[in-house]
Amino acid sequence: MRRVAVLGAGHTKFMFDSPQTEIEMLAEASMDAIRESNLKSKDIQAIFCGNVLGDFSEGQGMVQSYLADDIGCFNVPASKFEGACASATMAIRDAFMWVASGFYDIVLAGGTEKATAMGTSLATRTFAMFGDSRYEYPAGFTFPGVFGMLAHLYSDQYKVPLKKLKEQMALVSVQSHYYGKDNPNAQFRKEITVEQVLKGFMVTSPLQLLDCCPFSDGAAAIVLASEDIAKKLVAKPVYIAGVGQASAGKISSQYKYLPRIRSREISVKQAYDMAGLGPRDIDVCELHDCFSIAGIIAAEGLGFAEFGKGGELWEKGETKIGGKIPINISGGLKSKGHPIGATGASQVYEIAHQLRGELKDQGRQVEGAKVGLVDTLGGDGTIINLILKVD
């Protein structure tokens, strides 16, 4: 197994109601990634792509194949992955293996989604099919329902009074908007206050509007290559040092562990072990804050805080630049936006730029960051983690 590097990365603006198709958005991000890698389309040997709702939002499957043709990667193998919100991270982890194994030298991986076309209410109902649609969805388990329940379980189990937990949760969203305002690709670029979060309308108790990330349209893509090629092409290759993935069953089948997401602990251990690193080595992290409570739960599962203490990280400012573990300096899913099948690629894009030290101009550079962690959650607890580092 040889080392694999992220070369260039591309990212559309995340937004409501994009005028582009999913294929057009991914083509834009892909061409930017290819150009930034000092490559041409013909150099790409294979494509790995995440997309989830395309069949519903545009009536278009097989986006990977049309993308290949549209960006001039004629007849290259192109595979599409569906792992709900973690689809692009799944694609990238898989692409990593094809390069690490020596089968391919240069590949493209990314994801694209138009999640706003059907409106938030219908999208929420449609997207619930990526939970258990047979027994749990009819019982109320849309994703807001799942994470609302987890917040109550969290409060109960860790003896964090709901009022206090809600203030901690609000701080997660407030911080995301604080950094997202400076991210030109972010969907929401304005600050919000704790008071605004706590006065928002109730979506699913105890989650209020600003505890919830939006649906978004957008795409992101990266080029992966072997170490020797990377060193020839770019000044500062970002290596994928560790990968992890774990599935979960129905949310009800996880009852022994909830609100801990056991699959995250399994997945991130794989990534840490492979990289020979631990939570203390992570300089910057993009994690899956689809809901504010999800951000707190993720921070604990990744090893940044004891269980029940995750919210304190935000309270103490440890998740900001200069803190112990800067989290979601991109704005996270909450402020940057959440185009489902693209989110994992967007997280990798962000971490790659942090590790290359290219975010000074945007005022959100984690100085000296050398190791970054990506955390994506799909459906009822499929987790995929990637550890990126620069030498």
Active-site residues, by number, are: 85, 338
Binding letters toward a copy of itself, positions 341-380, x by CB under 8 A: -------------------------------------xxx
State the DSSP string of 134-159: TTTTTTT-SHHHHHHHHHHHHHHHTT
Q: How many CB atoms lie within 10 A of CB 202?
A: 11
Binding mask 30-59 for a copy of itself (x = CB under 8 A): -----------------x----x--xx-xx
Q: Which tokens is 57 given?
A: 């939002």
Taking the least distance from each CB to a copy of itself, the nearer of 221 and 284 is 221
**Torsion 79-84-88-89 (CA) sign:** negative
55 vs 228, beta carbon nearer a copy of itself: 55
∠282-287-290 over CA atoms, to 5°?
Answer: 170
Give the tokens for residue 361.
């101009």
- Residue 132 interacts with a copy of itself (CB under 8 A): yes or no: yes
Tell me how far apart the alpha carbons of residues 111 and 243 are, in angstroms, rounded to a whole number: 18
> Do the Cβ atoms of 68 and 108 come closer than 8 Å?
no
**290 forms part of the interface with a copy of itself (CB under 8 A):** no
Task: Single out the segment in contact with a copy of itself by CB under 8 A; choices: 196-204, 213-221, 242-250, 303-311.
Answer: 242-250
Interface with a copy of itself in residues 180-199 (CB under 8 A) = none
Angle between helices 143-157 and 292-301 (to 10 degrees): 60
Q: Give the rounded distance of the alpha carbon of 356 from its chain centre.
A: 19
User: How many positions of this chain bind a copy of itself (CB under 8 A)?
Assistant: 59
**Which residues ranging from 62 to 91 are in contact with a copy of itself (CB under 8 A)?**
62, 64-66, 68-70, 74-84, 90
Please, are residues 385 and 270 in contact by the beta-carbon 8 Å criterion? yes
Contact pattern for a copy of itself over residues 7 through 26, marking x by CB under 8 A = --------------x-----
142 counts as binding a copy of itself under rule CB under 8 A = no
- Cβ proximity to a copy of itself: between 68 and 210 the closer is 68
Q: What x-and-dash track marks residues 305-324 binding a copy of itself by CB under 8 A?
A: --------------------
Tokens at 203, concatenated: 């979506």
Give the chain's length. 391
Spatial separation of the C-alpha atoms in residues 125 and 120, rounded to whole Å = 9
Minimal distance, residue 88 CB to a copy of itself, in Å: 12
Q: Does 141 bind a copy of itself (CB under 8 A)?
A: no
In one-letter notation, the amino acid at residue 178 is Y
Q: Which is nearer to a copy of itself, 75 or 161 (CB)?
A: 75
Contact call for residue 262 and a copy of itself (CB under 8 A): yes
Binding status of residue 124 toward a copy of itself by CB under 8 A: no
Q: With 0-12 CB in 10 A as exposed, 13-18 as middle and 19+ as buried, what is 134?
A: exposed
Strand pairing of 284-286 and 207-208?
unpaired
Least distance to a copy of itself from the beta carbon of 96, Å? 10
To a copy of itself, the closest distance from the beta carbon of 14 in angstroms equals 22
CA–chain centroid gap for 351, Å, is 11
Asked if 382 interacts with a copy of itself (CB under 8 A), we say yes
Closest CA to 50 of 83, 10, 5, 14: 83
Looking at the Cβ atoms of 76 and 109, the one nearer to a copy of itself is: 76
| Pick 65 or 335: Cβ nearer a copy of itself | 65
Pick the closest to residue 378 from 2, 72, 175, 89 (CA basis).
89
Nearer to a copy of itself, 48 or 314 (CB): 48
Token pair of 306 as six digits: 């004891």
Contact 352, 238 (CB under 8 A): yes
C-beta of 64: minimal distance to a copy of itself in Å?
7
- Which residues of this protein are in contact with a copy of itself, per CB under 8 A? 1, 21, 47, 52, 55-56, 58-62, 64-66, 68-70, 74-84, 90, 94, 97-98, 100-103, 129-134, 137, 245-250, 253, 262-263, 266-267, 378-382
